């Protein structure tokens, strides 16, 4: 099916670009923390989407809007807003008819992954997703080592429970190596996590 | 599994409330257009979530953040941001292991539903979801009549194609009555669309 705008103009999809202002903002705010992983995953998801492999999107950052200005003849400007904590994971979608749900986080540490990278709401959300037979996992990046792992949510929940019971507040690198799945970084797609899902769920 | 904050405080879920500022903002912006439907669906989704029936969330409004202020000792304030057009539908999640995806729209008209309520990106997204065997539909509300219908995406796509081929730019009320499924408004949940999904996909 070809798409046209109602005025008859054919639809030309925009290239995947981030506005210059946003890039600036990103650097200001996070000094690149988390951004590289997010950008890599966005590129990966675009790759999957364009090739009709999977439909997975990052959810927009939740923002509480308080004040909006409506200038004449130009777009509405949000003048006051606040970041809200997400109640779910950041990424979800569909792959081969299966519901896919994941969160992506990175750490500067090299020997363990702190659990404080996850919020309680996200942990509860992952638990719910598993109960509803969704495919749920986290993508963990050790930024200094440039190593990326996929860890199934069931393991993350077990490590969270260990912390709740008074155990360590992080997952050791060894545990991630043993229970997780290393994803070699590629060019296209950059983080080919769907391959791991194929392997884990016999979907290929 | 009971959840506690890392400091040992038990987790108490917040009541579903909208901050007074946001309510004000909503009324300013939309003069209630679309808001009642969104609120009804949010309540419905909370109902499903609390009872472990389905996990369906509305995605946050996509916002392009340009400028953020970081006052000492208080939360970051977004000082300049713009609304972005969504590239997907607003709602998605999982129900009985199935991927669920939908958009909700309302009209003040009583005899037809204008197709301009949908964006091309959303139409393409719905088409993709169907190809990946997801459950995809729209919830349409005739606000003056207070009537709500679930219409499967396959029908919406056919009406969109009719428009593309030079046909009418709306769906008639009769067509929606014939092909869609009327959802009687309830108290809890307010818009029990999962019942229609059970019926359509034999999931009950």
On average, the pLDDT of chain A sits at 87
Cβ neighbours of A138 (radius 10 Å): 24
Q: Show the domains of chain B with their CATH numbers.
A: 20-59+86-201 (3.40.1350.10)
**Least reliable range by pLDDT among A144-153, A175-184, B14-23, B183-192:** B14-23
Confidence label for A58 from pLDDT (cuts 50, 70 and 90): very high
Strand partners, B178: none
* Binding-face residues of A in 175-194 toward B, CB within 8 A: none
Nearest CA among A55, A52, A86 for reference residue B59: A86
Strands A147-152 and A112-114: unpaired
Contact A125, A149 (CB under 8 A): no
**Least reliable range by pLDDT among A11-25, A45-59, A78-92:** A11-25
Q: What is the pLDDT of residue A17?
A: 41
Query: Closest partner residue to B4 among A49, A61, A164, by Cβ?
Result: A164
Report the complex ipTM.
Answer: 0.80
B26 CB neighbours in chain A (<8 A) are none
pLDDT beneath 50: ranges in chain B: 1, 11-35
How far, in Å, are A25, A80, B64, B70 from residue B75 at the CA level?
16, 12, 19, 7
B109 touches chain A (CB under 8 A): no
Separation between Cα atoms, residue B36 and residue B18, nearest integer Å: 13
Please determine, for residue A142, whether its predicted confidence score (pLDDT) is greater than 60: yes
Strand order across the beta sheet in which A98-107 lies: A55-58, A91-95, A98-107, A135-142, A147-152, A181-183
Confidence label for A202 from pLDDT (cuts 50, 70 and 90): confident
Q: What is the pLDDT of residue B7?
A: 53
Six token digits for residue B18: 């909208």
């Amino acid at each position: 099916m070809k798409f046209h705008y109602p005025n008859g103009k054919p639809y030309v999809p925009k290239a995947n670009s981030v506005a210059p202002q946003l890039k600036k903002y990103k650097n200001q705010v996070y000094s690149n923390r988390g951004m590289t992983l997010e950008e890599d995953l966005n590129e990966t998801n675009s790759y999957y989407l364009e090739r009709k492999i999977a439909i997975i999107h990052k959810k927009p950052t939740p923002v509480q809007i308080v004040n909006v200005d409506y200038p004449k003849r130009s777009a509405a400007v949000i003048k006051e807003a606040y970041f809200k904590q997400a109640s779910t994971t950041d990424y979800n979608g569909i792959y081969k008819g299966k519901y896919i749900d994941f969160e992506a986080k990175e750490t500067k540490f090299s020997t363990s992954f702190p659990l404080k990278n996850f919020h309680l709401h996200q942990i509860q959300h992952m638990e719910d997703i598993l109960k509803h037979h969704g495919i749920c996992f986290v993508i963990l990046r050790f930024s200094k080592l440039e190593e990326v792992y996929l860890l199934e949510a069931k393991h993350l929940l077990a490590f969270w429970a260990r912390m709740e019971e008074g155990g360590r507040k992080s997952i050791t690198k060894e545990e991630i190596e043993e229970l997780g799945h290393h994803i070699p970084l590629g060019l296209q797609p950059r983080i080919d996590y769907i391959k791991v899902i194929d392997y884990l769920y016999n979907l290929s």
